[in-house]
């Protein structure tokens, strides 16, 4: 499930939507390459949804730095420290 389905109901300009999609792709690739069980077939859809929603939420709060979006989404997925 790409982030586009979640972005469809938002009002981001095309440049910001592309930035958020790129941050999502980077975060997802990081999870997959790490071997994290959250990337397994039975977890992938829900993991991708959590990442997408968090990145969109941060975008709605005004964050436009791709690396901060990625880092925040990964931290959010990891839960409280």
pLDDT digits (tens, 9 = 90+) for 18-74: 999 999 999 999 999 999 999 999 999 999 999 999 999 999 999 999 999 999 999
CB burial of residue 73 (10 Å; 0-12, 13-18, 19+): buried
Residue 2 counted as domain residue:
no
Measuring CA to CA, which residue among 5, 12, 15, 11 is closest to residue 51?
A: 5
- How far is the first Cα of the chain from the last one, in angstroms, to the nearest whole number? 28
Measuring CA to CA, which residue among 28, 30, 24 is closest to residue 59?
A: 24
The total number of structural domains in the chain stands at 1
Q: How far apart are CA 5 and CA 47, in angstroms?
A: 15
Residue 38 counted as domain residue:
yes
Instruction: State the pTM of this model.
Output: 0.88
Residue 52 counted as domain residue:
yes
**Residue 56 structural domain:** 13-78
Whether the pLDDT of residue 11 is over 90: the answer is no
Residue 1 counted as domain residue:
no
């Amino acid at each position: 499930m790409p982030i586009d389905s979640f972005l469809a109901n938002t009002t981001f300009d095309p440049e910001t939507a592309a930035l958020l999609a790129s941050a999502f792709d980077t975060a997802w690739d990081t999870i997959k390459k790490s071997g994290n069980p959250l990337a397994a077939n039975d977890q992938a859809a829900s993991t991708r949804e959590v990442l997408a929603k968090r990145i969109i939420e941060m975008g709605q709060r005004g964050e436009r730095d791709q690396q901060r979006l990625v880092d925040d989404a990964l931290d959010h997925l990891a839960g409280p420290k």
